[in-house]
């Protein structure tokens, strides 16, 4: 008996080997709606309010945190500008589909883009936890710099491609 499994569109992005392992885990939890947002915690009776800790104006749900919140939207915009991803894409699955089907880069370049998307999801969850535990929300620029440095550090740790075109792309786009 042969069982055929449907390939999930986000698998390549979440489990991309170029991405930082803890970023992958947070993305996997986010895709499955399993992060302990204030909305979930309120339903469990653990907290009394579901208001977003970052913007303090909407309910903290997965869709809100990733990327309806004005803060996460601004962080995502910085990352998209840095990487040359079109501005009209405003949610995780849209980003993944664009990288898979519309991005004209090599396999390695797509891995770099997946790494960046995972890093921004992780960074937003990190900011949310910073707001929860330390009552502090860093600036969008600070979070963007964290994402950018995480991607650069990770890419420099893994095997760099031999292709001159990809090397040039890295120098001009990523390592700037």
Instruction: Express each pLDDT in 85-96 by its tens digit.
Output: 888 888 899 999
- What mean pLDDT is predicted for residues 147-165? 86
Per the CB < 8 A criterion, the answer to whether 108 and 114 are in contact is no
The mean predicted confidence, pLDDT, of the chain is 91
Instruction: Determine the pLDDT at residue 5.
Output: 65
Per the CB < 8 A criterion, the answer to whether 161 and 65 are in contact is no
DSSP code of 58? S
């Amino acid at each position: 008996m042969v069982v055929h499994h449907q390939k999930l569109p986000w698998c390549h992005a979440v489990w991309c080997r170029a991405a930082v392992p803890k970023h992958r885990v947070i993305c996997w939890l986010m895709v499955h709606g399993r992060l302990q947002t204030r909305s979930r915690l309120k339903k469990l009776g653990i907290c009394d309010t579901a208001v977003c800790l970052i913007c303090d104006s909407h309910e903290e749900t997965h869709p809100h945190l990733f990327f309806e919140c004005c803060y996460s939207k601004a962080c995502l915009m910085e990352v998209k500008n840095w990487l040359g991803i079109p501005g009209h894409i405003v949610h995780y699955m849209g980003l993944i589909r664009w990288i898979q089907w519309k991005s004209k880069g090599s396999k390695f370049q797509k891995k770099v883009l997946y790494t960046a998307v995972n890093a921004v999801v992780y960074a937003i969850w990190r900011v949310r936890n910073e707001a929860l535990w330390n009552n502090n929300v860093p600036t969008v620029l600070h979070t963007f710099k964290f994402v950018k440095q995480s991607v650069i550090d990770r890419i420099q740790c893994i095997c760099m491609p031999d292709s001159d075109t990809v090397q040039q792309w890295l120098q001009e786009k990523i390592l700037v």
